[in-house]
């Protein structure tokens, strides 16, 4: 494997419209979702995870999945080529496939590494979930759509407790054998710390040299950004986050709080990595979202305002923005 620690580019996926809104306590109007997606794309975010083809009975918050995709399609351009959609099963894959001809080319499958998580989430064991995923991957093959996989509760599970790295790598190997393009390891309930993140990052980069390795952190216990720093130090160059820090997972108790995209990306920039993203515009998007949802979002940067390394003009104005 090449040593990714020398690479200076970081690839970022905004997951707020899916992972954030799926756990929002009130229904979020589709136009608010579309505004957030547009803002992220306009700010230079290379990819946005826009929705999930989950059953509306399970997650009514995402019942407008088709509506979101239709609007993005009708906006024209290559928007659908820059989005990813979660497909939890074959039924979801069928729903997503309606948009393949319009440009949608990236779906995401998901499995937790513990039986407890999969049972509560999908009423399946890990093995049964992997079989289901195999069917989804097979169904995607003719369309040449890219299939990524997220690996949930990779550092700990609310039902089965701490998780050993070997178990995580083992589940990921099964996904790799199916031919997924990317493996995203998720700290679904926010119990990871930087030492364990560094360890799993190194293991994953070594094991999956031909596959993209991403990390997805939650800030449930305040370590989301520090964990991202540890992942970068270990050589990971793909991160996920949620504008304003919205979100969580409806199936995991106390899992609120995706790591905040703009807080984390400010750090990524300060560390000297390139993302192609205008963090200042992401901050503005968080401010707009906070206004639209009429609820204080957990992210910090959008409330405090810019930082010296983001806005050279910061020095001139005296204090940060109110």
| Cα atoms found within 13 Å of the Cα of residue 213, Cβ hemisphere only | 28
| Cα atoms found within 13 Å of the Cα of residue 125, Cβ hemisphere only | 2
Instruction: For residue 161, state whether it binds its own copies (rule: CB under 8 A).
Output: yes
The distance of closest approach from Cβ of residue 37 to its own copies in the complex, given in angstroms and rounded to an integer, is: 23
Q: Which range touches its own copies (CB under 8 A), out of 36-44, 46-54, 70-78, 183-191?
A: 183-191
Q: Which CB, 7 or 304, lies closer to its own copies?
A: 304
Instruction: For residue 270, state whether it binds its own copies (rule: CB under 8 A).
Output: yes
Site size with its own copies, rule: CB under 8 A: 50
Q: Which CB, 247 or 299, lies closer to its own copies?
A: 299
The distance of closest approach from Cβ of residue 293 to its own copies in the complex, given in angstroms and rounded to an integer, is: 18
Q: Which range touches its own copies (CB under 8 A), out of 8-16, 42-50, 79-87, 227-235?
A: 227-235
Instruction: For residue 263, state whether it binds its own copies (rule: CB under 8 A).
Output: yes
Instruction: For residue 320, state whether it binds its own copies (rule: CB under 8 A).
Output: yes
Instruction: For residue 217, state whether it binds its own copies (rule: CB under 8 A).
Output: no
Say if strands 156-157 and 161-162 run parallel, antiparallel, or are unpaired: antiparallel
Residues 118-157 that bind its own copies (CB under 8 A): 156
Q: Which range touches its own copies (CB under 8 A), out of 57-65, 77-85, 169-177, 215-223?
A: 215-223
Which has the closest alpha carbon to 117: 20, 237, 253? 253
Q: Which residues contact 20 (CB under 8 A, 6 or more apart)?
A: 242, 243, 244, 246, 247, 258
Binding test (CB under 8 A) with its own copies, winner from 44, 103, 193, 250 = 193
Give dist(CA 117, CA 123) in Å, integer: 9
Catalytic site positions: 249
Instruction: For residue 308, state whether it binds its own copies (rule: CB under 8 A).
Output: yes
Binding site for its own copies (CB under 8 A): 156, 158-162, 189-191, 193-196, 219-223, 225-226, 228-230, 253-254, 257, 260, 263-264, 266-267, 270-272, 299-301, 304-305, 307-309, 314-316, 318-322
């Amino acid at each position: 494997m090449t040593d990714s620690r020398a690479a200076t580019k970081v690839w970022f996926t905004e997951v707020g419209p899916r992972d954030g809104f799926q756990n929002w306590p009130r229904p979020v109007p589709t136009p608010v979702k579309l505004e957030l997606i547009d803002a992220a794309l306009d700010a230079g975010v290379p990819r946005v995870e826009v929705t999930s083809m989950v059953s509306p009975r399970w997650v009514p918050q995402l019942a407008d999945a088709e509506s979101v995709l239709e609007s993005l399609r009708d906006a024209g351009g290559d928007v659908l080529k820059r989005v990813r959609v979660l497909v939890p099963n074959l039924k979801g894959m069928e729903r997503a496939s309606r948009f393949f001809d319009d440009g949608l080319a990236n779906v995401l499958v998901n499995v937790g590494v513990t039986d407890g998580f999969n049972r509560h989430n999908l009423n399946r064991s890990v093995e049964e979930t992997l079989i289901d995923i195999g069917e989804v991957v097979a169904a995607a093959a003719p369309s040449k759509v890219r299939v990524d996989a997220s690996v949930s509760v990779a550092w700990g599970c609310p039902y089965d407790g701490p998780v050993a790295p070997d178990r995580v790598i083992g589940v990921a190997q099964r996904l790799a054998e199916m031919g997924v393009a990317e493996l995203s390891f998720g700290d679904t309930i926010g119990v990871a710390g930087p030492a364990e993140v560094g360890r799993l990052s190194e293991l994953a980069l070594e094991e999956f040299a031909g596959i993209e390795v991403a990390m997805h952190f939650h800030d449930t216990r305040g370590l989301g950004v520090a964990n991202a720093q540890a992942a970068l130090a270990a050589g990971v160059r793909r991160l996920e986050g949620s504008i304003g820090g919205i979100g969580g997972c409806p199936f995991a108790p106390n899992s609120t709080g995706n790591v905040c995209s703009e807080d984390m990306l400010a750090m990524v920039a300060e560390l000297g990595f390139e993302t192609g993203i205008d963090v200042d515009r992401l901050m503005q998007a968080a401010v707009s979202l906070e206004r639209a949802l009429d609820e204080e979002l957990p992210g910090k940067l959008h409330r405090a305002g810019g930082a010296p390394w983001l806005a050279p003009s910061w020095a001139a104005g005296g204090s940060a923005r109110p």
